[in-house]
Structure 1
Amino acid sequence: MRTKTPIKVRYSETDQMGVVYHANYLIWFEIGRTAFVEALGFQYHEMEEEGVVSPVIHADVHFKQPIRYGQQAYVETWIEGYNGIRTTYGYQIVDEDDIVAVTGTTEHVIVQKDRFRPLSLKKRFPNWHEAYLKAYEKVED
């Protein structure tokens, strides 16, 4: 399963060259990841209400070409890897012509907010686990 989320490039996200500042792509990854989770029928705030958060433990970003102010952009998101503890999301940011501008991944675990020790998504949120397995299987097919 993949989601494709539109991103409106705001002037404040660009640098003096008129291109999107590199750190903003990580924010766009987060927008895509949130939309992906919502497409599966879940909300991050549901997890947070139980004192659980999902920090990024690793990120990779690869820049292919710039996105400029005034362009329409989209972030495509999928599960790149999942083992019940760690989830790796894959991302591809494309322009309005579907030309790939940026690719990347972020790796996440879930932790109890007050202790920051990894938890098993499989055990703590079995419905999320099942949905992630199905979404991951569809990517592998």
Structure 2
Amino acid sequence: MSTLIFKADLLTRQADAEHRPDLWPCPSPFVASLTVGPEHMDEFGHTNNTVYLVWMQAVAALHSKHLGLTFDDFVALGSGCVARHHDIHYKRPSFAGDTLWVATWISRNEGKTDMLRQYHFVRASDLATIATGSTQWVCIDMNTGRPKRQPPEFLSAYRVTSINNPDADTAADTQ
């Protein structure tokens, strides 16, 4: 079920790219790779902007799985994460055939109802930053859909990796 919703199968972990301080604005992000396909192109001949949002959600799901939490775990815990706010900054276009590395990390989690996850897209061939972004995720009760305090399993898994926020001037509100 989680593959259909979160499309984590679109990406593959790229562990060798994780330890590249020259690429990432944080010391040890989770990095996955993907290949841009013709189905991702728009009328302008580059990756459509909405596709990046799908990839952000996919790398978040893959990272969550790596940390030990899948959608099935959300159901069992009765707690899940939904997006309150997405923010994407497009720096350069990407094209069919490009391999992109997508880094993600948790930059804020005070243990309440929400957390902030950062993303950084780099084209593998020239190491150019393609896009950066963030998502404010909110913990909800899976039965009611209402926000709730994160359970201990979330606090253990979703620890802050770096407070560095490359787009701090326009990042999600921290309410």
Q: Same fold (TM over 0.5)?
A: yes
Q: Which has the higher strand share?
A: 1
Matched-pair contact (CA < 8 Å) for 1:79–1:90: yes
Structure 1: runs of 5 or more not aligned: none
Q: How many residues align?
A: 135
Correspondence 1:22 to 2:45: no
What percent of counterpart residues are identical?
Answer: 24
Aligned to 2:61: 34
Aligned to 2:131: 102
SS at match of 1:4: strand
- How far apart in 1 are the matches of 2:98 and 2:45? 11
SS at match of 2:156: helix
Match of 2:118 among 90, 101, 104: 90
Correspondences of 1:40-55 after superposition (within 5 Å): 40-55=67-82
Aligned to 1:128: 154
Higher relative contact order (CA 8 A, sep 6+): 1
Q: TM-score if structure 1 supplies the norm length?
A: 0.87
Shift of 1:13: 1.0
Q: TM-score if structure 2 supplies the norm length?
A: 0.71
RMSD value, Cα: 1.7
The one-letter code of the counterpart of 1:139 is: S
- How far apart in 2 are the matches of 1:40 and 1:129? 11
